[in-house]
Amino acid sequence: MGKIFPIIDDRWKDWINERKMFFVSTAPLSTDGLVNCSPKGLDSFRILDELTVAYIDLAGSGIETVAHLRENGRITIMFCAFEGAPKILRLYGEGEVLENGSKGFEELKSRFPHYEGARSIIKVNLTRIQDACGFSVPLYSYEGERDTLLKWAEAKGGAPGVKDYVNDRNKESLDGLPGIQLK
């Protein structure tokens, strides 16, 4: 079992900021519901304070994280070292969905680059910070960010087209939970 840490201290802050991707996991309350795990990239993660983190949520084909958080708030964020010394860090917490255009979104959006495809910011109050060895995580070399999602949002006509897409395709999760409707 890994060690449990009381806060994100400077060591963990530096380590997290070096990661090029992270994974987000959520699940509905229903035992027959689908557990979701999503990879995230780009410059999308921020440490707000020692026990609060956030990431900008970009439009995509699914809305599972948002739907699950609205139902029960449970979320785990996982970082892995794919280069250098092996290490895994999991951040467990209670997540909150701040929809694009909401007061909470507006208060935090300046901490992130502007992305036309931003549909929300996921803010997480951490309840547990735990590392693990990561000995079996393979080594990978970072080649760069994909720009496919950014080009997709641009091709949709920017924010107005992304909003239409989200309102059409992200209404509900795979389990039928309410998704998102941007104003």
- Does the pLDDT at position 174 exceed 90? yes
Return d(Cα 96, Cα 72) in angstroms, integer. 10
Q: Is residue 91 part of a domain?
A: yes
Q: Is residue 174 part of a domain?
A: no
Domain membership of residue 135 as a residue range? 4-169
Burial 142-167 (b: 16+ CB within 10 A, else e): eeeeeeebbebbeebeebebbbebbe
Q: Within 13 Å and on the Cβ side, how many CA atoms surround 112?
A: 30
Helix or strand (DSSP H, E) at 153 = helix 148-155
Q: Is residue 154 part of a domain?
A: yes
- Does the pLDDT at position 147 exceed 90? yes
Q: Is residue 178 part of a domain?
A: no
Q: Residue 52: its pLDDT value, please?
A: 98
Q: In this prediction, what percent of the chain has a pLDDT beyond 70?
A: 99
Q: Is residue 183 part of a domain?
A: no
- Does the pLDDT at position 114 exceed 90? yes
3-state secondary structure 94-113: EEEEEECCCHHHHHHHHHCC
Choose among 136, 126, 145, 34: nearest CA to 82.
Answer: 136
What band does 61 get if pLDDT is binned at 50, 70 and 90? confident
Q: What is the DSSP letter of 30?
A: S
Q: What is the CATH number of the domain that holds 99?
A: 2.30.110.10
Residue 116 structure tokens? 């036309």
Which residues make beta-bridge pairs with 130? Answer: 4, 90
- Does the pLDDT at position 165 exceed 80? yes
Q: Is residue 176 part of a domain?
A: no
Question: From start to end of the chain, where are the E strands?
Answer: 4-5, 22-26, 36-40, 45-49, 52-58, 74-80, 88-99, 118-132
Query: What total number of domains does the chain contain?
Result: 1
Q: Is residue 125 part of a domain?
A: yes
Q: Are the beta carbons of 81 and 148 closer than 8 angstroms?
A: no
